Every structure is written in C-alpha cells, then in structure tokens.
Amino acid sequence: MSGMRRPVAVIIGMMGAGKTRVGKEVAQMMNLPFADADNEIEHDAGMRIPEYFEKYGEPEFRRLESDVVLDMLEDFDGIFSLGGGAPMTPSIQEGLAQYIADGGKVVYLMADPEEAMERANRGGGRPMLNGDANERWKKLYKERDPVFRSVANVHVGTRGQSPQAAARKLMEMI
Ligand code: S3P
C-alpha cells in the first residue's frame, strides 16, 4: 500500500515532552484527526492508567499498550501520540518500522530535558515516576533517548518553543 495513504504521523518522546499538546495543534493546523494512545488504552481498559498499573502491573500494561498501538498504526489516518514508554516494546518497534515503510512519519519530539522533566513531574498521574520522580525521569531518558532516535525518521527539537511554534516546525517536517 506504499504511497496510497494520506500523510500521517505518530509522535513519540519522553513523558512531559508535550506530545499530546503539540500533536493536537499539528492536527488542527493540518485539518486531520488527532488521537492519543493513552486515552484509547484508558477507554479499552475502562480505567485510568495509574489504576491499571496498580491492579495489573507494568508487563500487563505493556501488552495492552502494544495491542492498542498496533491497531492504531494500522488503521488511524491522522496524527497521534504514544505514551513515553511505548517505543521500548519490541512489537511496537516493528509496527513503527512498518509504518515508516508505508510512508508514515515517526516523529521524535525532542523537548529540552529540564523542561520536559519538570512538566512530567508537575503533571502527576505517571506511575513510571513513582518515588524520586526526577531520578526516575533521568534514568528513563538515558535508556530511551537512543531508542527514540533510532526508531524515528523525523527528529524535532522544541527547546524554548511554544506548543504552536513547535507544531509549525513539526508540520514543516512531515
Ligand atoms: C509512560 C508514559 C505515559 C503512560 C504511562 C507510561 C512511560 O504517557 O503511557 O504512564 O512509560 O513513559 P506520557 O508519555 O503521555 O506521559
């Protein structure tokens, strides 16, 4: 089906990078639908993500996340954002590679680490940051940044930019 689909993009990046905020802006500017994988997961699970983690644990969350994200990668024509940890799951990595092969863009939204960390901690409701949130965020960033770079075919730096400015920059690159 290469070349047959509309230009579409999936946004990845760290917790607090602004994936959903910027993704919504881009979708609006391009007049495309927007979806957030975490919202779809919550809808399927019938509960909020922290509750799901507490009840079933991270491995079960990653399985559900993989099912939801792979469905979206196949069917969703628009802009959508993934939860920060999603690109670490091998099945999702395969899905992202296929998405690129089909003409899609996988966008690594590279926010300033200090800004993203601060926003992630302020936001709350993130079970991966339980405990010392800054230390947890930094550790995850170190593990994830190289993977995000390698699975994405578009890298967008947003240091010091408003969500609107970041969205315009992203739009020009997809
Ligand atoms: C996670 C990030 C969250 C959510 C879940 C796990 C992670 O999404 O999927 O809490 O492992 O980084 P955001 O990146 O939108 O916060």
pLDDT category, 123, cuts 50, 70, 90?
confident
Check: CB of residue 108 under 8 Å from CB of residue 147.
no
What ranges do the domains of the chain cover? Answer: 9-173
Q: Whose CA is nearest to atom 11 of ligand 1?
A: 85
In the annotated binding site for Mg(2+), the residues are 20
> pLDDT > 90: what percent of the chain?
93
Complex prediction ipTM:
0.98
Closest CA to 84 of 105, 110, 103: 110
The answer to whether the beta carbons of residues 9 and 109 sit under 8 Å apart is no
Give the per-residue pLDDT at 6: 58
* Distance in Å, CA 171 to ligand 1 centroid: 23
Q: Is the pLDDT of residue 52 over 70?
A: yes
Cα 122 to ligand 1 centroid, rounded to whole Å: 14
Q: Summarize pLDDT for 5-48 with one digit per residue, the tens.
A: 555 899 999 999 999 999 999 999 999 999 999 999 999 999 99
For the stretch 58-69, pLDDT in tens is: 999 999 999 999
What's 40's DSSP letter? H
Quick one: 9-173 is in which CATH superfamily? P-loop containing nucleotide triphosphate hydrolases (3.40.50.300)
Q: DSSP H helical segments within the chain, as ranges? A: 19-30, 37-45, 49-56, 58-75, 90-101, 113-123, 133-151, 163-173
Percent with pLDDT over 70 in the chain: 96
Q: What global pTM score does this model have?
A: 0.95
Model confidence at 122: pLDDT above 50: yes
* 4, pLDDT greater than 80: no
Between helix 163-173 and helix 19-30 the angle, nearest 10°, is: 60
The per-residue pLDDT for 5 is 59
Atom 8 of ligand 1: nearest residue by CA position:
83
pLDDT of residue 106: 98
Q: Which pLDDT belongs to residue 119?
A: 93
